[in-house]
Amino acid sequence: MDKVYNRNLILILVYLIVDTIFLAGYMFMVIFQREGYEPQVYKDAYVYLVTFSFIFSNFLFMLWDKGELENLLDNRLKGLGITKTILRYYRNLFIEIIILAFVLVPLIIAIFIIGNLNHINFVLPLFIQAAWGMAVLSIRGYLVTLKCDKLWKELFIILFMFTVIILTIVFLYFYSQYGRLVITTVYDNDIPMGFFVNPLLTIVGLLYLQTGSPTYIGYIPVIYTIGFCVFIFILSLLLTIKKVSYELGGKNIAKSSSGKNIEKA
C-alpha cells in the first residue's frame, strides 16, 4: 500500500504544481495587465482554472497506481474476504481522488480573495470531477481482472474517455447544426439531457452558471452526470467482485483437487 500511496501522492503534487503554474501564468498575462478592478476577469480565472484542472486530471487517471488490486489475483492479500478487500481498495482510492480534486481549493480561494468574489459554490464542480475519476478508475480496476494485453486495456480506457468527453461534444455540434438550434448557453433547454453524461460539458456549464450565465434547466445536468458516474462505478465494482471471486475460487478448487490427488497417491 505504501508504494501505491507514494506514487499517487506524487501525481497529486504534480497536479497541484501544474495548476499553480497555470493560474500564475493567467495572473501575469491577463489580470496584472488590466487597470482597475474587473470582477469578470477573476470569474474567468475561476472558470479556466477548474476546467483546465479537470482536463489535466484525466491524463493523471491513466497513470494512477492500481497495484493493490492487481495483487488480488495472486491471492497475496490475506486476512480479509474478497469483497472486503476490494471495498477497502476503493475506499482508499476514493480518499486519494477526493484529495486530488480538492487540493485545488487553496488556489480557488486565492482567486476569490483577490477578486473579491462571493457566493460561489466551488465544491460542486470539484465533486463532479471526483465522481468522474472514481468512474474511470473503477473501470480500470475491472480491466485488471481480465486476461488480455495491458495495451488493449489502456486503449479501452482512452476510448471510453474520448467517447464520453470528446465525441459527445462533436455529436452535440452536429445535432445543433442539423436541427438548426440556437444554443445561447451550455445549460440550454434545447440540449437533450443525454449529452450531459459528459462531465466536461456539465462542469463548464455549471461554472458559467455560477459566474452569471443564464440557465433554462437549473442544476438538472449535474444530476445526470453524477448519476452516470455512480452507475459506472457500481457496475464496475460488482463486475470486479464477481470476476475476482471466480478467479480465486477456481484457484482454490484446483489446489484442493491437487491436494486430494497427492493424498490418494
Number of domain units in the chain: 1
For residue 251, tell me if it sits in a domain. Answer: yes
263 within domain boundaries: no
What are the residues whose beta carbons fall under 8 Å from the beta carbon of 121, sequence distance 6 or more?
A: 210
Has residue 264 been placed in a domain?
Answer: no
Structural domain of residue 42, as residue ranges?
2-256
| Residue 172 located in a structural domain | yes
Assess if residue 165 is contained within a domain. yes
48, part of any domain: yes
- pLDDT tens sequence for the chain (265 residues): 444 467 889 999 999 999 999 999 998 888 777 777 888 899 999 999 999 999 999 999 999 887 666 665 555 455 556 777 788 888 888 999 999 999 999 999 999 999 898 888 999 999 999 999 999 999 998 998 888 888 898 999 999 999 999 999 999 999 988 888 888 888 988 899 999 999 999 999 999 999 988 888 889 999 999 999 999 999 999 998 888 877 666 554 444 444 444 445 4
Answer for the pair 131, 58: CB distance below 8 angstroms, yes or no: no
Domain assignment present for 197: yes
pTM equals 0.87
Residue 139 lies in a domain: yes
Q: How far is CA 57 from CA 23, 76, 173, 228, in A?
A: 16, 31, 25, 19
